[in-house]
Amino acid sequence: MNLYQNFSTILDRHYVPGTRIILAFSGGVDSRVLLDLLARYSEENPIECKAVYVHHGLSDNADTWQQQCQAWALQAGIDFVAERVQVEAKGKSLEACAREARYNALGGHLNSGDLLLTGQHSDDQVETFLLALKRGSGPKGLSAMAEAMAFGSATIVRPLLTVSRSQIEAYALQQGLQWVEDESNQDVRFDRNFIRHQISPLLNQRWPHFAQAVNRSAQLCAEQEMLIEELLQEKLEKALTLDGGLDIDVLSAVSELSRARLIRMWLTQHNIRMPSRDHLSKIWAEVAQAKQDANPVLNLAGTQIRRFSNKLYAIAESEDLSGWEKTLEVDESIELPDSLGCLTVQSSESGSLSLQALVEGELRVTFNPEGLSARPTDRVHSRKLKKLFQEYGVPSWQRRRMPILMCGEKVVAIAGLFIDHQFTGQDCELIWDKSS
């Protein structure tokens, strides 16, 4: 196989002029060969490229590897940057946590349309396929790795996916390349290393073309997945609501198998890590089908699946703001917690608040509606905020994330919702800038 011809054909297929190529550069033989191929490609094509080394701090040799990678990138004429990350195994394997930290760091260097090159090859594909099989994955998991896949607004490209490890090593030796050897790659306590060193050699010895067969099966699984999603796309569009929810009535009208896939497709759109089969069934049974007066919630790795107005919503877990409170003055902006933006009480000749009413007490902002009442301008009587939230159709998870402006012990307004009748006027405005 002509490795460079294979590499350039794949890059030509995915590269768009004006975007950049970012190389995930660990210094191992795979990424070392990619650096060499990319240097040659950049000589023939006017592209901007950069090699990014992620320092996990897991090996005593990491500092030395970083220096070597920087020297190799400099020699190849490619810009180099190193990112240092902290890896904490919180309920997940060290492998998974290191991988997550690495991709988070790499993502920080990607702009829309950029290509991120990674060095996975056909032997890695076999390992990924067998790991998916061990987990009991369906066709989507058994699709293993694609040549290209979306990564935010960028694209991950794997130019060596049809190339074997032995072919990569042969190219490196032929070109006189040096590379680093990560000692952790020999540790068979890690599942992937166990397959690499103790399972794959036996399979290849018995069936020399096993890797090609796995790649073919993975491709067939991927094609089946694409076909299923293509056939269900129209139903998904019908079920999606304008605010990103999923209509439970539409889901109720399809088969159980179609419903499960539609929920999976919806979660994928929200970039939510795919739940287990058990969690998927609970989304329907315990959230969508909960009693009408219930406020069901299912936690999924940093996301909550909730129901409101007969629709499913995927809500990012957020900070409890019940105890947060801050004073402010007219014509002053304050920063709200948990990335909720800024709030300003601003003098205005065409406002909807009364400046005279506002100066009768201390102005402060809270998020805790407990025990508070108000009478919006379109209501005849005062009501508890809990009831008003219900009447205005505010989902339960948003009710403690809407700033409440207080004047002394009186509710002036809930930003973005209503103004109390006692504070209406024309010379002041409450502005909630959520983009700040």
Residues in binding site for ATP: 26-31
Backbone angles phi, psi at 226, to 5 degrees: -65, -40
Classify burial at 380, counting beta carbons within 10 Å of its beta carbon; exposed 0-12, middle 13-18, buried 19 or more: exposed
- Joined tokens for residue 94: 């060290």
H and E: helices and strands count for the chain? 15, 20
Q: End-to-end distance of the chain based on CA atoms, in angstroms?
A: 53
Report the binding-site residues. Answer: 26-31
Q: Left if phi > 0, otherwise alpha if psi is -120 to 50, otherwise beta: which for 21?
A: beta
- Nearest CA among 86, 88, 79, 69 for reference residue 31: 69
DSSP 198: I
Backbone angles phi, psi at 322, to 5 degrees: -60, -35
Q: Output the DSSP codes for 95-112.
A: HHHHHHHHHHHHHTT--T
Angle 263-310-291 (CA atoms, 0-180°, nearest 5)?
Answer: 100
CB atoms within 10 A of CB 158: 23
